[in-house]
Amino acid sequence: MICDKCGVEMRYKKDGHSISWICDNCGDAVASSFFEPYETDTTDYHILISTSNKTDIEMLKIVAGVANCNYIEAKKLIEKAPVEVFHGQAVEVKAIKEKLEAASIDFKIEPEFPY
Ligand SMILES: [Zn+2]
C-alpha cells in the first residue's frame, strides 16, 4: 500500500478484526475491515441431514428452523434422509453447522466445508 499524498510505502497494522495502513511520513491512515476466510467464501454449500439420526422434537425444531418449514414438513424431510435441508454461502452454513453440532445431529456438507 502506497500513500496517496506522498507516495511512500505505508506501514501495515492489524488490530483485532480491522486492518489499516499508516503513513509514517505524513500520518495519513487507510482503514479496512478484515474478513475471516469463510466470510468472503461465495461457494454454494449444501447441508444434508444423515440417515442415522433419531427424530425427536428438538431435532424437528432445529430442522424446521434450518429448512424454513413447519414440524410436519421437517419430519417428512428427515424421513427422506439423506436429504438437503439448506444450501447457501459459508457464513450461513457455518452458523447452521454449529447449531446442528450443538444438537448432536448427524449431517454432512457438500462440497467439503473447511471451516
Ligand atoms: Zn504519506
CA of 32 to the centre of ligand 1 (A): 17
34/91: higher pLDDT: 91
N residues, the chain: 115
Residue 97: enclosing H or E segment and its boundaries?
Answer: helix 90-102
Q: pLDDT of 6-17, one tens digit each?
A: 999 999 888 777
CA of 5 to the centre of ligand 1 (A): 5
Q: pLDDT of 53-74, one tens digit each?
A: 888 999 999 999 999 999 999 9
pLDDT at 40: 86
Q: What gap in Å lies between CA 48 and CA 32, rounded to an integer? A: 36
CA of 1 to the centre of ligand 1 (A): 11
Residue 95 has pLDDT above 90, yes or no: yes
Cell of 84: 438437503
Domains and CATH numbers, the chain: 1-34 (no CATH), 39-110 (3.30.1390.10)
**Which residues, listed in sequence order, are joined to residue 13 by a DSSP beta bridge?**
20
Whether the predicted model's global pTM rises above the 0.85 cut: no
